[in-house]
Amino acid sequence: MNREQIYAVLIALEGDTLLLPNAAVAEVVARDALQPAESGAPAWLAGYCDWNNRRVPVISFETANGSGRNAESRRARVVVLNSFGTHLPSGLLAIVSQGYPHLVTLNRPAVKPLELRPTDRADLVLARVRIANQEAAIPDLTALEAEISRVQAIP
């Protein structure tokens, strides 16, 4: 890898794709590890998973971003992400994906900026890009952490 390239992952969602730096992904676990959220939790909080002796909140990014609930799928996985902010005590959050993340090597000419979708929450989506024929959203992980933290603080 040269200075002009970065390693990233494309994470398939139901009707969307996320683009994150490879370093953000801690591990991918089976959806079976997902424990449902308590009743009364927001629809976007899919539940929790125990990972390395830590309770990790799992979200449905599609639901948080206003695109509806993600469908049950045998291919679904839970992608555990390193959190880069200070909002979560576990230092982790997770996203329900539709399969395993796909590793990509990117350079500046490969990434074309796009407009946000009308349904995107501008506080959760930093940008949209096109990589070859794939459109992807770049989520604001710090904003997601803050959103999770607010929900966890409610008694």
- Domains of the chain: which residue ranges? 5-153
What average pLDDT does this structure show over 129-138?
96
- Domain 5-153 classification at class level: mainly beta
> In the predicted model, what is the mean pLDDT of the chain?
91
Q: In terms of pLDDT, which residue wins out, 14 or 153?
A: 14
Residue 115 has pLDDT above 70, yes or no: yes
Weakest mean pLDDT among 56-60, 86-90, 100-104: 86-90
**pLDDT value for 3:** 75
CA distance 131 to 124: 20
Of the candidates 130, 125, 80, the residue with the CA atom closest to the CA atom of residue 104: 130
